[in-house]
Amino acid sequence: MLAAAREVVLLAHVNPDADALGSALALGLALYRRGARVHVSFGAPERPAESLRDLDVADLVVPAAQVPAAPELLVVLDTGSVDRIGSLASRVDCAGTTLVIDHHVSNGGFGTAYYVEPDAEATAVIVLGLLDALDAPVDLPIARCLYAGLVTDTRNFRAASPATHDMAARLLVAGVDAEAVTRPLLDTHPFSWLGMLSAVLATATLEPDEAHGLGFVWACARAEHIAGGRQEEVESIIDVLRTTAEAEVAMVLKQVGPRRWTASLRSKGRLDVAAAALAMGGGGHRSASGFTVEGLDAPDVVADVRRALAAAPLL
């Protein structure tokens, strides 16, 4: 499908992270060089996170409004369910062929065909294999996109297999500057982030008896806490909260409307938070998942999460 396509739209999930957008750009750049007409996009926001913009060396990213209505081939990457495409979900039914490439264990399959590897640490791992099958050169621009996906989804390679470390070494040989790629993704924040982080962490609550007695820590990022914050700054809060020694599971609840919330769930590997997120209408990985709910107040959402964690399997 990829080799034959002349017009390709590659979609990441809403609020794309480095793995989603990096995978889409790496594959899109390879197809563009093969002569295909290529668009890369996502349902929201209008532009990628600032820390990801320099990955788009060929200007392949377009706003959602400019995505063709009925592309020949639609490729959806790093997206566990059709609702995670947001405003572009209708393209799945309108495209000539829809191919889903993903590594989320909760992916139930949608579109015309799907290539899902739940054991892959990142969608970038799958994309690199596809590039090799296409005999596409993995040069520096493509390698940077893939490395960004690997370094973020493996938590700076702390959750990477030996094979994935080998992939990273291959990308470094291609010319990737690991420090230059990693610093803006994981180690750089504006001064305003400190105030936002302080306000959200002040709401942190530790519940040591929850999550099968393994401990649950959560914080509530209300609209007034995160107003004006960049997407990547808000999403980084969970990485601080998850360091709580007394809790197996961490959650940041983020207010995105009057009674609308998105949540990031993380575990340290002993409890399947993907199952809990699925019970809340979301999904993801066993150790990193999320969901969106509407029509509830924060205490009610937290109460539902407690019940979902109690029912989630231990690993």
The string of pLDDT tens digits covering residues 16-28 is: 999 999 999 999 9
pLDDT single digits (tens) 170-222: 999 999 999 999 999 998 999 999 999 999 999 999 999 999 999 999 999 99
CATH 3.40.50.2300 fits 192-311, yes or no: no
Q: What percent of the chain has pLDDT over 90?
A: 88
Residue 284 pLDDT grade (very low, low, confident, very high; cuts 50, 70, 90): confident
| Cα–Cα dist 226/102, whole Å | 30
Please report the pLDDT score of residue 202 as a whole number.
98
Please report the pLDDT score of residue 7 as a whole number.
96
Does residue 130 have a pLDDT over 90? Answer: yes
Distance of CA 127 to the CA centre of its chain: 15
55 secondary structure, DSSP code = G
Q: What would the mean pLDDT of 26-53 be, rounded to a whole number? A: 95
| Cα–Cα dist 214/263, whole Å | 20
302 in Cβ contact with 218 (< 8 Å): yes
Summary mean pLDDT of the chain: 95
Q: What's the topology of domain 7-186?
A: inorganic pyrophosphatase (n-terminal core) (3.90.1640)
Residue 74 pLDDT grade (very low, low, confident, very high; cuts 50, 70, 90): very high
Q: What percent of the chain has pLDDT over 70?
A: 100
Please report the pLDDT score of residue 105 as a whole number.
82
pLDDT single digits (tens) 82-128: 988 999 999 999 999 999 999 988 888 888 999 999 999 999 999 99
Please report the pLDDT score of residue 230 as a whole number.
84
Does residue 38 have a pLDDT over 90? Answer: yes
Long-range contacts of 114-123 (CB under 8 A, 24+ apart): 121/150, 121/153, 121/154, 121/159, 121/160, 121/161, 121/164, 122/19, 122/23, 122/149, 122/150, 122/152, 122/153, 122/154, 122/164, 123/19, 123/20, 123/23, 123/77, 123/78, 123/149, 123/153
One-letter amino acid for residue 251 of the chain:
M
Does residue 240 have a pLDDT over 90? Answer: yes
pTM of the model: 0.89
| Cα–Cα dist 229/226, whole Å | 5
Does residue 238 have a pLDDT over 90? Answer: yes
One-letter amino acid for residue 307 of the chain:
R
Domain regions of the chain by residue span: 7-186, 192-311
Please report the pLDDT score of residue 232 as a whole number.
84
Does residue 166 have a pLDDT over 90? Answer: yes
User: Which residues does 117 contact at the CB level (< 8 Å), separation at least 6?
Assistant: 102, 103, 125, 126
Please report the pLDDT score of residue 109 as a whole number.
83
Residue 2 pLDDT grade (very low, low, confident, very high; cuts 50, 70, 90): very high
